[in-house]
Chain A
Amino acid sequence: MTVIHPKMTDQSAKIRAQDVCVYYGDKKAIDHVSIDISPNYVTAFIGPSGCGKSTFLRCFNRMNDTIGAAKVTGLIELDGEDIHGSRMDVVQLRARVGMVFQKPNPFPKSIYENIAYGPRIHGLAEKKADLDVVVERSLTRAGLWDEVKDRLEDSGTALSGGQQQRLCIARAIAVDPEVILMDEPASALDPIATAKIEELIDELSGRYAIVIVTHSMQQAARVSQRTAFFHLGKMVEYGPTSEIFTNPIEERTKDYITGRYG
């Protein structure tokens, strides 16, 4: 059974998941998980490899739809609206819930085009001048503007790994989402690039609800205010980050954060 810390019950929820199960064919990857994601905090999902934390994250913007064998049951609400409901369009959902992946995946186009692509397909900025504003604002928020402002026409793939990942973050915030999902965004980066990403998450946290999956407990401790610990497809414990790391209730959580397994 999931342990939810007492302070967590009164918070408002940007995303509310109830009894969510995910199946890959016959295999149950997520087993009856219920969670409320706060709009004001960075929420971290931690847990050993294969515990289903990434799978669960991908439910929030229905990226599991792209995997034919995956089946999601249960209720997921964004601002009280069922994301699987008939009134919710998946394209619109993904514009509202952005995602950053484990491996930086800029499009093999120019830096400018990488950022402008989202606003353009959603018709958020029609004129070149408007797009220029969006590109500059997104890159500035992602802390990349000063590094790339003189070479916006260069290919996005020519940047360093850390810069590519910040480009992907800029690409996600260019469509002005409400939530940003990050799936181990720093796991392919060196410590300096990682520090920059963590700094960036901190800066973005007031503006967007952020959910980050990480296998690094230090990272979770540094960037998040809420932490959920997953194990074998179940959410074991969910609470304020400081509580989870200093005063876990469940034995398994304690074992994991003290490095007993993972």
Chain B
Amino acid sequence: MSSPALPHDAGDAPQTRGPTRTPAFEKRLAQRYRAERNFRRIGLGAVVFSVAVLVFLLGNMLMNGVAGFQRAELAVTIDFAQSGVTGDPVSLAAPSAVQTLEMQGLPDVVTFFAEEQLGKDAAAEIAPEGWRDVAAALTADPDLITRSQTFYLPTTSALAGALQGEGPAELRALAQKLSDQGKLGRNWDWGFLARSDATSPQSVGIWGALKGSMLTMLVTLVLAFPIGVLSALYLEEYAPRGRWTDIIEVSISNLAAVPSIIFGLLGLSVFLALFPNLRSAPLIGGMTLALMTMPVIVISGRNAIKAVPPSIRDGALAIGASPVQVVFHHVLPLALPGMLTGTIIGMARALGETAPLLLIGMRIFVATPPEGFASPATVLPMQIFLWSDEIDRGFVERTSAAIIVLLVFLLTMNGLAIYLRNKFEKRW
């Protein structure tokens, strides 16, 4: 057999070397390896860049956020025995205890001791609502009424700014003096995680928004997950192939791409029209976000169901399992990990959503955490948006702290879902 005429054959010289041993081939080989190396470098560069951006973002947030978890506080020692405030364990345990204490003049008592210990100027810089911390301590421990105790009360934001070297000179001098005396300082403010929104950055807290987010997410999950999973199962396993199925498929894909604010309009015109007195409620917010999350779950669920090998279905059918048994005993358990991945993505998107919630009135000032699914609430991203809009400088750090809380919530939620996914994951 004669050797085939290859394009790189040099003249009529007999082929002593195989076609893969020519210099031209070796050159191409070197080129191939070069392309390989270049691609690896570019890929590594992309990863390094995104990691760097993430580190910068998180680092920046963490630096600011740490300050957001602290607040400027003034030390005031209150001797209740001399204060004229009275109370017994029963009345202090009553729900109206704080009002009772207010009527007995607790705010004035706090001001009196503060003026005595810190001077008139400094006492005026205690936050107007500062006495509530004292009231809270009293209701928590009624025995305090007979003793004396040192409280760390929040300052006004003006003094808090002065402590960090901002604002008028005389206030800065006062802050310096108090700080030197050890009566003014920035302390860890764990109450930030327990309080709700307020007018002063010194006394705001994130709990109201956090609880609002939790309630809203719960409604979203309870609605979107079962409906999404059942829709995916029906469409994949039962729906007859045809024009209507195609139309539904395309509609669901489009729904997943609809800008979120449109869902807000839907929530406004449908849900709020049906339940007008549930304005700003987590129930309506959750329903609106569920509309948004559902298509994501349906799409990922269908892909997960498609990935279940048909041989498993055949095996189950062949020993006489009914279609419902095949779906619930075999297909669903195998598709669940993939469905959970879709749910993570959908829920994470819903958690960070503000636009649709703006329209259904969740942009509100919530001074007390929502009591239930029907009471007015706001959510974490909305709280971040509201605080970032404030003029007071103190809110900058509080905003960063709120972002950290949001991210931690997100990580917890995703961590839980990933844990569940790995638990259910099976190989075949």
Instruction: Pick the residue among A106, A121, A157 that contacts B321 (CB under 8 A).
Output: A121
A105 touches B309 (CB 8 A): yes
B312 touches A105 (CB 8 A): yes
Q: Which of B126-134, B176-184, B203-211, B322-330 is near enough to bind chain A?
A: B322-330
In this complex, the interface size class of chain B, counting residues with CB under 8 Å from chain A, is 20 to 34
In the bound complex, residues from chain B placing their C-beta under 8 Å from that of A94 are: 317-320
Q: Which residues of A contact B322 (CB under 8 A)?
A: 91
- A to B contact number (C-beta, < 8 Å): 68
B319: A residues at CB distance < 8 A: 94-95, 98, 117-118, 121, 171-172, 174-175
Chain B hits for A155, CB < 8 A: 426-427
Distance from A159 Cβ to chain B, minimum over Cβ atoms (Å): 12
Give the residues from 305 to 319 in chain B that come closer than 8 angstroms, CB to CB, to chain A. 309, 311-319
Within 8 Å CB of A118, what residues of B? 319-320
B162 CB to nearest A CB, Å: 66
Q: Contacting A108 at CB < 8 Å: which of B241, B320, B426?
A: B426
Query: Does A236 interact with chain B (Cβ within 8 Å)?
Result: no
**B243 CB to nearest A CB, Å:** 15
Q: A144-173 CB contact bits vs B (8 Å, 1 = yes)? A: 000000000001010000000000100110
> Judging by beta carbons under 8 Å apart, are A103 and B311 in contact?
yes
Q: Closest approach, in angstroms, between the C-beta of A124 and any C-beta of chain B?
A: 10
List the A side residues contacting B312 at CB < 8 Å.
105, 107-108
Looking at B314, B319, B329, B330, the one whose CB has the most chain A CB atoms below 10 A away is: B319
Please indicate the chain A residues that have their CB under 8 angstroms from the CB of B309 in the complex: 105
Most buried by B among A94, A98, A107, A174: A107
Which residues of the other chain, A, contact B325 by a CB distance below 8 angstroms? 121
Does A99 contact B318, Cβ atoms closer than 8 Å?
yes
Q: Decide if A88 is an interface residue (CB 8 Å cutoff).
A: no
Residues in A63-122 with C-beta less than 8 Å from chain B = 63, 66, 68, 91-95, 98-99, 101, 103, 105-108, 117-118, 121-122
The answer for the CA separation of A132 and B241 in the assembled complex, in Å, is 42
Question: In whole Å, how far is A28's beta carbon from the nearest beta carbon of chain B?
Answer: 22
Indicate whether A91 sits within 8 Å of B320 (C-beta atoms), given known contacts A105-B309, A107-B330, A121-B325. yes
- B278 on interface, CB distance cutoff 8 Å: no
Q: Is the CB of A108 within 8 A of B427?
A: yes
Q: How long is the Cα–Cα vector from A68 to B237 in the complex, in angstroms?
A: 12
Asked whether B275 is an interface residue with its Cβ less than 8 Å from the other chain, the reply is no
CA distance A192 to B298 in the complex (A): 46
CA distance A167 to B428 in the complex (A): 14
A121 & B320 in contact (Cβ 8 Å cutoff): yes
Contact indicator A107/B316 (Cβ below 8 Å) = yes
| Contact A63 B320, CB 8 Å, known A107-B330, A108-B334, A108-B427 | no
Contacts of A108 in B (CB 8 A): 312, 334, 426-428
Scan residues 298-357 of chain B and give those whose CB is less than 8 A from a CB of chain A.
309, 311-322, 325, 329-330, 334
Smallest CB gap from A122: residue in B: B320
Contact A98:B334 (CB < 8 A) given known A105-B309, A105-B311, A108-B427? no
Q: Kindly state the separation between the CA atoms of A101 and B312 in the bound complex, as whole angstroms.
A: 11
Residue tally, chain A, CB below 8 Å to B: 28
- Chain A residues near B240 (CB-CB < 8 A): 68
> Chain A 163-198, CB within 8 Å of chain B: the 1/0 string?
000001001101100000000000000000000000
Q: A108-B334, A108-B426 are in contact. Are A66 and B317 (CB under 8 A)?
A: yes
Partner of A107, one of B241, B315, B320: B315
Whether the pair A175, B311 counts as a contact (CB closer than 8 A) is no
A54 to chain B, nearest CB (A): 12
Residue ID in chain A nearest B330 by CB atoms:
A107
Q: Which residues of B contact A99 (CB under 8 A)?
A: 314, 318
Distance of B338 from chain A, by nearest CB (Å) = 14
Q: Which residues of B contact A98 (CB under 8 A)?
A: 318-319
Which residues of A lie under 8 Å from residue B334 when comparing CB positions? Answer: 108
C-alpha gap A121/B376 in the complex (Å): 49
A63: which B residues are within 8 A, CB to CB? 314, 317-318
Closest to B241 in A: A68
A205 lies within 8 A of chain B by Cβ: no
- The reply on A61 being an interface residue by CB < 8 A is yes
- Cα separation A196 to B357 with both chains bound (whole Å): 66
- Expressed in whole angstroms, the minimum distance between the Cβ of B323 and any Cβ of chain A is 9
Q: Is the CB of A172 within 8 A of B318?
A: yes
Complex Cα distance A155/B319, Å? 19
Known: A101-B311, A105-B311, A121-B325. A157 touches B427 (CB 8 A): yes
Q: How far is the CB of B332 from chain A (nearest CB, A)?
A: 13
Find the B residue at minimum CB distance from A118. B319
CA distance A155 to B428 in the complex (A): 9
Q: Are A101 and B314 in contact (CB under 8 A)?
A: yes
Which of B309, B313, B315, B320 lies at the interface centre, i.e. has the most chain A CB atoms within 10 A of its CB? Answer: B320
Beta-carbon contact of B329 and A117 below 8 Å? yes
Tell me, in angstroms, the Cα distance from A98 to B317 when the chains sit together: 10
Task: Give complex CA distance A175, B316 in Å.
Answer: 12
Contact of A66 among B314, B320, B426, B428 (CB under 8 A): B314
**20 sample A-B contacts, Cβ–Cβ < 8 Å, listed by A number:** A61-B318, A63-B317, A91-B320, A92-B320, A93-B320, A94-B317, A94-B318, A99-B314, A99-B318, A101-B311, A101-B314, A101-B318, A106-B315, A108-B426, A108-B428, A117-B316, A117-B329, A121-B319, A157-B428, A168-B315
Which residues of A approach B to under 8 Å, CB–CB? 61, 63, 66, 68, 91-95, 98-99, 101, 103, 105-108, 117-118, 121-122, 155, 157, 168, 171-172, 174-175
Given contacts A98-B318, A105-B314, A175-B319, 10 further A-B contacts (CB under 8 A): A61-B318, A63-B314, A93-B320, A101-B318, A107-B312, A118-B320, A121-B319, A121-B320, A155-B427, A168-B315
5 nearest A-B pairs in the assembled complex, by CB-CB distance: A105-B311, A95-B320, A99-B318, A94-B320, A118-B319
